[in-house]
Amino acid sequence: MKHRFFNKTTQEQNRILWKIAGITILVNLFLGTLSVIFGLYVLPFLSIAISLSIIAPFFDIPSLKKSGRLIYFSHLFMVERELKGMIIVHGGSLFDYVFVLNKSLKGRQRKTYIIQQYLQGLLNLIESQEKKADPEVKIKGTSYILNDRTAKKLGFKIVKTDFLQKLILTYNYVNLLISNSIAKGKVTFPRLGKVKTFEANISELIKHKPSIIKLNLRLLKTLPEVAENEESLYTV
């Protein structure tokens, strides 16, 4: 599997983004017309807010990647540039799910692949940090896919999710709904109450590296297509 967006030429990428923008504008114009006809004046505001939350990653992520502010360590695991000893990590967004996940994979296989990509990305991040001087850099991320037990096995501890992060997740609920449904292969409503924030020093993750490798290889065995192309997966 490859990241089909980043494998395209710049011209092809721009064509996709213009198409997304055009469809979004047309949908909002249509709903705006309906709101005038039926007096539903709140509808345009809801439509614009929801549509912006849905399409934002399709524009933000390529831009942030191009500027170097966002770095992919696997197709579904990316990090922000280190800031004051902290590296914020992110799982794949709706943008990544659309251009990475194979439609032929069933729901359970998709979830397995997503977690495997998290692990592979985490391993690549650990290896990049092992070469640096500061082993106490903190790694922090928020997820509703990774459960407490697995996170602890990887060397993370659970910390309080800050209010701003909860607010952002609430605003992006429809985006998360679509992402979660794609990941599960069926309509699945995300439970924001299950969202957890995890944190660990890179030194702690290095200690757990053998366990992470073992779990990653175990998941790869259930994904033969991924295992066969393992060397070519992480070049985006």
The full length of the chain comes to 236
- Report the C-alpha gap between 91 and 70 in whole angstroms: 12
For residue range 136-155, what is the model confidence (pLDDT) as tens digits?
899 999 887 777 888 888 89
User: By the 8 A CB rule, do 206 and 123 touch?
Assistant: no
CB atoms within 10 A of CB 69: 11
Residue 39 maps to a domain: no
Tens-digit pLDDT string for the chain (236 aa): 578 999 999 999 999 999 999 999 999 999 999 888 888 888 889 999 999 999 999 999 999 999 999 999 999 999 999 988 899 999 999 999 999 998 888 878 898 999 999 999 999 999 998 877 677 899 999 887 777 888 888 899 988 888 888 899 999 999 999 999 998 888 988 888 878 899 999 999 999 999 999 999 999 888 866 654 544 443 33
Residue 54 maps to a domain: no
Q: Give Cβ neighbours of residue 72 (< 8 Å, ≥ 6 apart).
A: 3, 65, 78, 121, 234, 236
Residue 132 maps to a domain: yes
For residue range 31-56, what is the model confidence (pLDDT) as tens digits?
999 888 888 888 889 999 999 999 99
Boundaries of domain holding 146: 68-232
Residue 218 maps to a domain: yes
Q: In total, how many domains does the chain have?
A: 1
Q: What per-residue string of b and e applies to 143-175 under the rule 16 or more CB within 10 Å gives b?
A: bbbbeeebbeebbbeeeeeeeeeeeebeebeeb
The dihedrals phi and psi of 198, each to the nearest 5 degrees, come to -115, 150
This prediction's pTM: 0.88
